[in-house]
Structure 1
Amino acid sequence: MTPIWLALAPALAVLMTSYNGVHAQVIKDAERLFSNLMVDYNKMFRPVLNQSKPVVVSTWLDLVSIQDFNEVEEKISFTAILFLTWTDERLGWDPEKYGGINNINIDVSKIWAPQVMLLNNVLKIERLSEDWHTVSVNASGSCLYFIANVFTSSCDVDVTFYPWDTQTCAFQFMPAKYEPGKIVLWPLKGNVDFNYYSPNGAWDLVNTSVSSEIYGYTVSFKIEVERKPQFAIVNVILPLIIMSALNILVFLIPTDCGERISFCLTVLLSIAVFLTLVGDNLPKNSRPMSVFSYYLVSVLIISVAISLAVICSLHTYHRGEKQHPGAAWRAVARRLGCYCARRSGPEKAYRVTGIPGVDYKLAWPENVTPRASLGMHLVPYPMRNHRGVFLNRNTHVNGTLSSDHSEDSTFHEEETHEGDSSVMEIKWSEVSIALDKVFFVFFSLILTTDTLCFFMVIYNNVTL
């Protein structure tokens, strides 16, 4: 044994001896004390000698944990310890007469104790005390009673800025058997205690407050919790934004592949599923509505508009060639470069005459001189003959030109104009490609603006 234990051994022996001696004496004195306190004690009356005075019950709350927060049903379950303390003027004694006993525990069914209930209880409003609970009483008559339980109370949920929302829930306690003026519930502390608190995975505790209401008839403990948005961002918001951006890429899919309609409808149904998913996690009320719900509806409307735009583009692409595009459609196609890419540079038009039955208007780049020879391509660009028949790029005018025809065949230079429909042939398929470019840029701007507006509204209101 070390020297320090040798030094402490006599003191420990004396302490153990005194404890054993007092232990037998305390039990005997405690029984006598309890018997004397219960003589002529009636728990039906309030513990004040002057029954016209109210009983002041001081109270405070120690929050242990938040068990569950159901936003849909607007209720919160929490584990807490409710402390109640008051003075019973009939329960006092002189410790010297009872072996120095300063404190004794008595069953709550034996003495008067305030019967309190949770006013905004969800399931059933009933008293919180049980007969097996005990009250700690000291020699001056001060009583301490604590109730540990899992409380479930209603809570007005405001999901306007979901998932960056902050909720404030109040737990209101009141006496169960007495009218106002008989018992006064007085908050002993201005805040809720967290001596045994364990953090919640979905909510952060921000602030607490305590207030007495209705002239001390009720006491309200308020806690302010803030949602942790990481789960909603990763599992709802980011997939929604990605699918919305993916929906716009439908305009980059070639029309001939035949999968454009199925692609945009699949994304539309996915967004509809997300709308249902979020709706199941929000309260079923209209005031207030979540900003995120409006954002989901706007994304759904944009997706529907994209589907209609794809249908319009496909209808334009597969239109027949009997009815040629009008001037407006041709202008759209030219401005977007669909047809200009087919032109290599400035052109001049030459009219070929002198060949019986042939009256062609030809176009050459201005640095090329037209020549009529055997086997040459007389029509390297789309042309129209005098009968209104279009000749494509691969049309050949082959054969042997007689000397008469060679001599009589002449090229007459004519100026061409960019808008001359006889020189430039624009098909409906090219108009469809131009529309895809317009739709891609338009819906990209709309979706970007919609998403930025949503985050700006959330950010401005959360940071206030």
Structure 2
Amino acid sequence: MKIQNGGCVVILIILVSILRESYSISYRNFEKFFKNITGGKNINLRPVLDHKSKVNISIYFHLIYIQEFNEVEGKLSLTGYFNISWVDQTIPWNSTENGIEQFTLQEHIIWKPSFIIGNPYDGVKLIYRDENVIRVQSNGVVTWTTGDNYEVFCNADVSRYPFDTQVCNLEILPWGYTNEEIVVVPIFDFVVHEMLNPQKTWEFIGSSVTKRKDLQLLTYSMKLKRHSMFFVFNLILPISMMIILNIFVFLLPTESGERVGYAVTVLLAIAVFLTISSENLPATSIPRLSSISILLFADVCISAFIVIMVILSSRYYHRKREYPVTKFMRGFVNASRIVRCKMCCSRRKKEKYSAKEKEEEIEWTDVGKEIDMVCSIFITVVILIVNALYIIDVAV
């Protein structure tokens, strides 16, 4: 029994010694292998055995977050990373000999392509970070994953603000190499967004990738749609309420003396909204002015017209009776009454207006009241038309 136990102990010691020796050899072999693979390489030379051969570079962009889109400055800030891969013909090894299939190393040890952003917002920017690593496989495939915050220029089209949809581009092209040296190949025809975090203002609704062969330029187009409910409740609806309140100025009694002040107050309120909206829009009219700016300008013009008509109607209303009503004003009052009565008045009221016309009982107060009536109807129709045109423009 003692001999058997002693034999087991001896066998166990031998196995442990073998395992330790194999681990040590494996580590030393890997260190030697790493030096052989990376030693003596010139990172400035393309990794091809024939200098006339081209290096095919596959690439795709993974979008992680849309930080900001500033329409006024035309700046789009993105967070994401590029996955770039190519074949290094000077690296491949037989993985069955040493059991090493792949490893990682710092990006400054072997050759890698240089890329720049084609439409940077501020200065030329290289796609490069010192802390990035490169993964190398036994078949020579090298994968370089580099991520960063990218700021690109995007000319916003705010013609349908705040119901607008923007198409912004992220352009990338090789730097320092010709078409005879490298070929850039997009892996996907869209922007990968599996890990995209939702943005509060913009919604990512689509993308595409195009290539310009003469420059090896890849363009990643991203379609963004604005979340408009905030602007509807804080801009569109208040503007609509302001313009509707304009109509009620003609219902105020002229004797109150508040009509002009009321009309001017509403005009100033609309002008304030016009200032607020202009601060959020770029100073451009290409391809055309924003619909909301046109709507606000129309509302300002309507409000200014209302102020003028309120002043005129008040002047006629308070004119002294010693000044006779002119023939033109009599005709205006009679024509207005006839037209309105034909549309909505009862037969008895029509007879009443006809009797008034025959007895010539029209006074300046009647002129002021009739101006208010005609203006209220006219302004209501104009407001409905203007708002209907705005709705059609942003909806179609």
Alignment of 1:50 onto 2:50: yes
Distance 2:349 2:150 in 1: 81
Distance 1:346 1:172 in 2: 77
Q: Which residue of 2 aligns with 1:278?
A: 277
Q: Which residue of 1 aligns with 2:108?
A: 109
Alignment of 1:190 onto 2:171: no
What letter corresponds to residue 306 of structure 1 in structure 2? Answer: I
Secondary structure, counterpart of 1:437 in structure 2: helix
Which deviations, in whole Å up to 9, do the C-alpha atoms of 1:201-233 show, x marking residues without a partner? 111111111122134612111111111211121
Q: Which residue of 2 aligns with 1:258?
A: 257
What letter corresponds to residue 239 of structure 1 in structure 2? Answer: P
Q: Which residue of 1 aligns with 2:337?
A: 336
What letter corresponds to residue 147 of structure 1 in structure 2? Answer: T
Alignment of 1:435 onto 2:382: no
Q: Which residue of 2 aligns with 1:221?
A: 220
Q: Which residue of 2 aligns with 1:166?
A: 165
Answer yes or no: is the 8 Å Cα contact 1:30–1:104 preserved in 2.
no
Q: Which residue of 1 aligns with 2:15?
A: none
Shift in CA distance, 241/26, structure 1 to aligned 2, threshold 3 Å: farther
Shift in CA distance, 20/166, structure 1 to aligned 2, threshold 3 Å: farther
Distance 2:20 2:330 in 1: 109
What is the CA-CA distance between 1:131 and the residue it aligns to? 2.7
Answer yes or no: is the 8 Å Cα contact 1:181–1:217 preserved in 2.
no
Q: Which residue of 2 aligns with 1:295?
A: 295
Distance 1:56 1:144 in 2: 13
Secondary structure, counterpart of 2:222 in structure 1: strand
Distance 1:49 1:235 in 2: 65
Answer yes or no: is the 8 Å Cα contact 2:356–2:362 preserved in 1.
no
Distance 2:351 2:81 in 1: 89
Q: Which residue of 1 aligns with 2:178?
A: 179
Distance 1:117 1:27 in 2: 39
Q: Which residue of 1 aligns with 2:64?
A: 64
What is the CA-CA distance between 1:70 and the residue it aligns to? 0.6
Distance 2:153 2:213 in 1: 20
Q: Which residue of 2 aligns with 1:137?
A: 136
Distance 2:370 2:195 in 1: 67
Which deviations, in whole Å up to 9, do the C-alpha atoms of 1:51-87 show, x marking residues without a partner? 1122111000111011000111111001111110000
Secondary structure, counterpart of 1:336 in structure 2: helix
Shift in CA distance, 24/430, structure 1 to aligned 2, threshold 3 Å: farther
Answer yes or no: is the 8 Å Cα contact 1:26–1:101 preserved in 2.
no
Secondary structure, counterpart of 1:286 in structure 2: coil
Unaligned runs of 5+ in 2: 1-18
Which deviations, in whole Å up to 9, do the C-alpha atoms of 1:281-305 show, x marking residues without a partner? 1111121221222111111111111
Unaligned runs of 5+ in 1: 1-18, 348-415
Identity of aligned residues (%): 29
Answer yes or no: is the 8 Å Cα contact 1:103–1:136 preserved in 2.
yes
What letter corresponds to residue 47 of structure 2 in structure 1? Answer: P
Answer yes or no: is the 8 Å Cα contact 1:62–1:81 preserved in 2.
yes
Distance 2:23 2:167 in 1: 50
Q: Which residue of 1 aligns with 2:118?
A: 119
What is the CA-CA distance between 1:239 and the residue it aligns to? 0.6
Answer yes or no: is the 8 Å Cα contact 1:160–1:291 preserved in 2.
yes
Distance 1:21 1:216 in 2: 55
Alignment of 1:448 onto 2:350: no
Alignment of 1:425 onto 2:361: yes
Q: Which residue of 2 aligns with 1:412?
A: none
Distance 2:264 2:21 in 1: 87
Higher helix fraction (1 or 2): 2
Secondary structure, counterpart of 1:172 in structure 2: strand
Shift in CA distance, 257/134, structure 1 to aligned 2, threshold 3 Å: same
Distance 2:350 2:175 in 1: 95
What is the CA-CA distance between 1:332 and the residue it aligns to? 4.2
Shift in CA distance, 24/431, structure 1 to aligned 2, threshold 3 Å: farther
Answer yes or no: is the 8 Å Cα contact 2:63–2:193 preserved in 1.
yes
What letter corresponds to residue 67 of structure 1 in structure 2? Answer: Q
What letter corresponds to residue 74 of structure 2 in structure 1? Answer: E
CA RMSD of aligned residues (A): 2.7
Distance 1:346 1:255 in 2: 27
What is the CA-CA distance between 1:20 and the residue it aligns to? 9.8
Secondary structure, counterpart of 1:132 in structure 2: coil
Shift in CA distance, 96/336, structure 1 to aligned 2, threshold 3 Å: same
Distance 1:142 1:346 in 2: 98
Q: Which residue of 2 aligns with 1:88?
A: 88
Answer yes or no: is the 8 Å Cα contact 1:71–1:157 preserved in 2.
yes
What letter corresponds to residue 142 of structure 1 in structure 2? Answer: V
Answer yes or no: is the 8 Å Cα contact 1:109–1:132 preserved in 2.
no
Q: Structure 2 matches for 1:148-163, cutoff 5 A?
A: 148-163=147-162
Answer yes or no: is the 8 Å Cα contact 1:261–1:310 preserved in 2.
yes
What letter corresponds to residue 87 of structure 2 in structure 1? Answer: T
Answer yes or no: is the 8 Å Cα contact 1:184–1:216 preserved in 2.
no
Shift in CA distance, 245/20, structure 1 to aligned 2, threshold 3 Å: farther
Answer yes or no: is the 8 Å Cα contact 2:318–2:364 preserved in 1.
yes
Distance 1:427 1:92 in 2: 104
Q: Which residue of 2 aligns with 1:457?
A: 393
What is the CA-CA distance between 1:21 and the residue it aligns to? 9.4
What letter corresponds to residue 177 of structure 2 in structure 1? Answer: Y
What is the CA-CA distance between 1:182 and the residue it aligns to? 1.7
What is the CA-CA distance between 1:185 and the residue it aligns to? 1.2
What is the CA-CA distance between 1:258 and the residue it aligns to? 0.8
What is the CA-CA distance between 1:25 and the residue it aligns to? 5.8
Question: Which shifted more, 312-321 or 243-252?
Answer: 312-321
